[in-house]
Amino acid sequence: MKKLMLASLLLFCCQIAFSQTQYLPGYIVNNSGVKQQVEIRDEDWKSTPTSIKYRNTPTEKVQSAEIKNLLAFGLNHGRRFERHTVQIDRSTDNLNILSHVRQSKLEEATLILELLVSGKAKLYYYESGNLRRFFYVKKDGRVEPLIYKKYYDQYDRITTNNRYQQQLFNHLRCEQISTKEITRLDYKKGDLMNYFIKYNACFELDTTKTNKDVAKLEKTTNYTYDLEKETNDIAYLFLGIKPGFRNSSFEITDAPPIGDARKPKFDNQTSFTAGIEVEYVLPVHNNKWAAFIEPTFFQNFEGSKTIEGFVNEVSYSSIEIAFGGRHYFYLNKKAKLFLEAGLIIDIPFSDSEVSFDGQRPALTLQSGTSFSLGAGFKYNNRYSIAVRYQTPRDILLNDTTWDSEYSNIGVVLGYHFSLLK
């Protein structure tokens, strides 16, 4: 059973790895302005892409396209990117080489920009490495940078040029937006998106409407970037209840030179487990990475093996504490697969021991660490199921003349609660 479960785990991991190159329905617009429906390889772009891979149909050859050959591309009902020639300030925020000049240093460049908000006012975004810049469209149709720059002042204090706030005040302001709202805006995706959405909602109103009407219309404003998937400013903390069962093996692999009767290999045992997990989903890469800690009560491995007339018995219960990381692979908005790896610290109960039919004193079990590998499925951030394998560990560390191997593979279920969002 254990070998079958391990083989299933390895096969599942391989299927996850190979299934993650997915092509989604989308479109490209060439330099002649011709729009073509294609399937675009979803790269989950964190930085603004410089090229894309696409295919016309699932059976056709994959093609590559660079930005110089595209006016725009996007995913249907998803993200949209457009090529524009703009002025951009590439000043660094690295404190070791921060400028002493307040004024931005603009240079012309042809870039692919992501359209975050569309409507009367459009908001664009560009990211390359640690460089993050926002752009907006003026009334004459030109795409202009929203100016922001960190620099050292004359007293070597870090300060910022927040000219973008003045730009918004001068060019993108309506009666329902106060000056205080603008001065409180941070140069962040969430803040600026909300501002542009509210600004666009102003122009859907009659002059007699109020700010409450603006708030209602903000929900229907057209934007291509899902605010719920904004990951630069959002983290998640989950508590999970984790029952499960495992199939375990234990054998003594080395003993004092008194015969093979002292080196039993016990029959595999199936037992139940119960654990609690705290998972922190990191606010990067579309919430695909997470760290977790999971204490698990293991009850228990009990076995008896008779060799050459000697009865060897083991009774082993413990609390395991797993520290690890997890990577998610989204199937859709609610379903996702994951791979995980962790370090296991094992704390046996005081009555855990191996006995030898009274021929010699029983050995108290003292464990060390091992590693775990797993793969699973989570639905709606609420329910999960995973297969998890633990590498062998020695649980006779208190006696240097003995060596042993304990390992297991099991299935873990999960029911999760959101603690922080």
Window from 14-28, 39-53, 268-282, 378-392 with minimum mean pLDDT = 14-28
Question: Which one, of 314, 368, 371, lies nearest residue 346 by Cα?
Answer: 368
What's the rounded Cα separation, in Å, for the pair 90 and 88?
6
What's the rounded Cα separation, in Å, for the pair 380 and 377?
10
Domain ranges of the chain: 79-228, 236-420
Vertex 241: Cα angle to 236 and 243 (nearest 5): 140
| Most confident listed range (231-240, 384-393, 400-409) | 384-393
What's the rounded Cα separation, in Å, for the pair 269 and 303?
8
Asked if 209 and 387 touch (Cβ cutoff 8 Å), the reply is no
Is the sign of the CA dihedral 360, 362, 366, 370 positive or negative?
A: positive
For residue 118, what pLDDT band results from cuts at 50, 70 and 90? confident
> Which residues lie across from 39 on neighbouring strands?
25, 55
With 90 as the cut, is the pLDDT of residue 24 above it?
A: no
Determine the average pLDDT of the residues in 92-105: 85
What's the rounded Cα separation, in Å, for the pair 65 and 344?
46
pLDDT at site 233: 40
With residue 40 as reference, give the H or E element that holds it. Answer: strand 35-41
State the DSSP string of 318-384.
EEEEEEEEEEEEESSSSEEEEEEEEEEEEEE-TT-EEE-TTSSPPEEPB--EEEEEEEEEEETTTEE
State the DSSP string of 257-319.
SS-GGGS-EEEEEEEEEEEEEEEEE-SSGGGTEEEEEEEEEEEEEEEEEEETTEEEEEEEEEE
Distance of CA 148 to the CA centre of its chain: 29
| Rg (alpha carbons) of the chain, rounded to whole number | 30
With 50 as the cut, is the pLDDT of residue 206 above it?
A: no
Position with higher pLDDT, 231 vs 3: 3
| pLDDT > 70 in the chain, percent | 83
State the DSSP string of 50-68.
SEEEEESSTTSPPEEEEGG
Tell me: the pLDDT tens digits for 335-346? 999 999 999 999
For residue 275, what pLDDT band results from cuts at 50, 70 and 90? very high
With 70 as the cut, is the pLDDT of residue 261 above it?
A: no
> Which residues lie across from 310 on neighbouring strands?
307
Q: Which CATH code for domain 236-420?
A: 2.40.160.20
With 50 as the cut, is the pLDDT of residue 230 above it?
A: no
278: which 2 tokens? 């705290």
Residues 6+ apart with CB under 8 A from 232: 188, 189, 190, 283, 284
